[in-house]
Amino acid sequence: MLPQFGTAARKNLNKTLNKPLSADAGGAKPDKASVDAAWLVLEAANDLGDHAAVEACRRVIDADLNGAAAGRSDLDLVLDYFR
């Protein structure tokens, strides 16, 4: 299967990302869709030189790898980056 680019990729990404996150304002263990989105945003933010987004993505990815809770603001930034 070929990778999806552009509009097709965004449509599929939005379908998986529109799931509600934990109501905990402090943070939540990132789900698979959030971590996948963090990797996509990390690549785009690197290309654009968006250092704040790069750091937020790294925190979400690190939280997933360590089994910790990611900050709600980091998750929000990742999930809303392309909107």
Burial class (CB in 10 A: 0-12, 13-18, 19+), 70: buried
Q: Mean pLDDT, to the nearest integer, of 37-56?
A: 96
Contact 34, 21 (CB under 8 A): yes
Q: What is the pLDDT of residue 25?
A: 45
pLDDT at 74 exceeding the cut of 80: yes
Q: What single string gives the DSSP state of each residue in 12-79? A: HHHHHHTSPPPS-SSEEPPPHHHHHHHHHHHHHHHHHT-HHHHHHHHHHHHHHHHT-PEEHHHHHHHH
Sequence spans of domains, the chain: 26-80
Q: Mean pLDDT, to the nearest integer, of 70-77?
A: 95
pLDDT at 23 exceeding the cut of 50: no
Rounded CA-CA distance 47/15 in Å is 24
pLDDT at 15 exceeding the cut of 90: no
pLDDT at 77 exceeding the cut of 90: yes
